[in-house]
Structure 1
Amino acid sequence: MALRLMQGGIRTLERTAADEPYKRFAVRPVTSLIGAEISDVDLTAPLDEELREELRRALLEWKVIFFRDQSLSPEQHIQLACVWGEPEANPFFPTGDEARISRLAKGTDMYGKENLWHSDHSFLAEPARGSVLRAIEVPDHAGDTMWADMAAAYDNLPEEVKERIDGLEAEHDWIDTWGRAIPEEQRDAVREKLPTVVHPVVKVHPLSGRRTLYVNEPFTMRLVGVPEDESHTLLEYLRAQARVPEYQVRFRWEPGSVAVWDNWAVQHYAINDYYPRRRVMERIAIAGTGWNGTV
């Protein structure tokens, strides 16, 4: 199969549009496909069920939603994450005072390494449902984050590629990324808790029903049951689909900014163009119960 990485022209950019207007906040799209800024809402206040339901609808529609000027406490950060499910700790990230909140402090003593297109926790049997990231300290410029709509990535694959990957599975693992930072004598113990997992190459989102391309650069290792050379070539082609600008949205952080994304629908990329200036973020991952069934 001849694989052409990029092709110009019109791309299909389908969005799961909301059935009714939002009553509790204003929505400003950042692109026509993915990403919207939500305003006129105070996330530090208690979130009643009507507001929670509208936030869930907005995330399903836009896949990543942004908020400005939200001075969240750790408890309020957790309150927001619980709109979508239970917070879960990342097994490799450092944490702050609250174990469910990962603290990502980068600067002169540590540079960002998340500048790969990836899906959070795909190395788990039930990958994270979503993530809530808030800016604590950011440079006056640079340090943006990008997200890519992986349903659009699937929609625009050539038909012969869709036919080839239909029913295929891929291995996902942490060993070539997080494993490099773990002393060799500790890896076996971590491996017992976190074995290699297998996920379909194309997942059907349980809420939107959209077929979504589910491979990523750091954690997807190989295609199951496919000869090694073909697996390498096809997997590289599929990983590269996140790089298409029409599928992407880019967000400029400010102190107090918050982003919530649907980890089953998007990949993201933290742009590492601010080193050695300081950038401090706090993130909560939302447990992925329902990934392999109904939610």
Structure 2
Amino acid sequence: MSTLTVRPVAGHIGADIDGVDLSRPLAAEDVAAVRQALHRHKVVFFRGQDLDHAAQIAFARQFGELTYAHPHDDAPPADHPEIFTVDPRRFEERYGKGFQEEYRKRRYSYVDGWHTDVTAAVNPPAGSVLRAETVPAVGGDTQWTNLVAAYQGLSAPVRAFVDTLRAEHRYGGGQQVAGDSEYGRRINDNLLVAVHPVVRVHPETGERALFVNPVFTSHVVDVTAVESRRILDLLYAEITRPEYTVRLRWEAGHVAFWDNRVTAHLAPLDLDHLDVERRLHRVTLIGDVPVGPDGQRSELVAGRPFTADHRVAVAS
């Protein structure tokens, strides 16, 4: 009999799942229980797991096919092209010491770090599985927010209004990415741009969720620049309300699994001044093309759908 248990950890989002070993194939009833918990709680946490790259990939594949590591990563771990390693030191080795400063300059407020993974693609990942390998003793927490709750928190007239809107998503969001840096060249040579509904309908639960985020959303289409900024400011304030969020204090072996269609998350902002090591590994599930309340699907503007068959252009 299954020993899996689900325990909510916050009022609107997040649950701990215990009594399951992710290094082994799950029973069909446990896969169904995890999927049900994910739909209800949006992000679930497994603590104290013992996984390597292969085991993480095998666990995630029980919930769907996996994408390539990342649209800009040309060097995932050998024999594991699905793994994207989150490590600031690795990013500095790739893009140079100025990478963090360039990224920081494009931020204008706290909310700018909130994002939903790879929404610049016409089919953003359906879900993400993140595993902690090395984490600092202090700092480095990740937060998630429930975009269904954020939508439901709007008044009925505002919900009816945003149901009709569409927005462009691109790498760099509304900020121009300089093409004279290694980071800028990598983005511009592997451009991904899509127009998504501002509200998407979850393909399995039918729930409506806000689908904009400060990292990738450049503007609302068919309105003025000023109107776009005001609309997005309103929605960003809503999706980052503390009551819709949950926060994870990482330890080595912790695994977070979130539904990328109805959540945004915030990477830590409290480590830049500390000489610490933080390394996590992520895989993402191939996603569907978002659909709005009116049934209209997202549109590809540049690039191609994000799948396992992905090639990264690298400037010589």
State TM-score, norm by structure 1.
0.84
Which runs of 5 or more residues in structure 1 are unaligned? 1-21
In 2, Cα distance between the equivalents of 1:55 and 1:201?
Answer: 28
1:96 positional shift: 2.1
| 2:238 alignment counterpart | 241
Matches within 5 A, 1:135-284: 135-176=132-173, 179-180=177-178, 182=182, 189-191=189-191, 194=192, 196-275=193-272, 276-284=275-283
The whole-number CA distance in structure 1 between the counterparts of 2:50 and 2:267 is: 22
The answer to whether the aligner puts 1:56 opposite 2:51 as a matched pair is no
Counterpart of 2:26 (choices 43, 47, 59) is: 47
CA distance in 2, matches of 1:42, 1:166: 41
**What is the aligned partner in structure 1 of residue 118 from structure 2?**
121
**1:146-194 CA deviation, whole Å, 9 max, x = no partner?**
0000000000112332232121100011145795564666665423xx3
Q: Say yes or no: does 1:38 pair with 2:38.
A: no
1:190 maps to a residue whose letter is N
Percent of pairs with identical residues = 37
Number of residues of Structure 1 aligned to a counterpart in Structure 2:
270
Per-residue deviation, 1:210: 1.0
Distance 1:164 1:225 in 2: 14
Residue 92 (structure 1) aligned with residue 72 (structure 2): yes
Comparing 163-172 with 123-132, greater Cα deviation is found at 163-172
> Paired residue for 2:86?
104
Alignment gaps of 5+ in structure 2: 93-99, 105-111, 296-316
Over the aligned positions, Cα root-mean-square deviation in angstroms equals 2.6
Give the conservation status (yes or no) of the 8 Å contact 2:64–2:285.
yes
Aligned to 2:107: none
Change in Cα spacing, 1:290 to 1:172, as seen in structure 2 (3 Å) is closer
Q: TM-score, normalised by structure 2?
A: 0.78
1:164 is paired with a residue of what secondary structure? helix
CA contact (8 A) 1:44 1:71 kept: yes
Name the counterpart of 1:81: 60
- Structure 1 range deviating more: 36-45 or 48-57: 48-57
Q: 1:52 to 1:147 in 2, by over 3 A?
A: same
Quote the Cα distance in structure 1 between the aligned partners of 2:55 and 2:37. Answer: 19
Distance 1:205 1:156 in 2: 17
Name the CA shift for 1:134/1:160 in 2 (closer, same or farther; >3 Å).
same
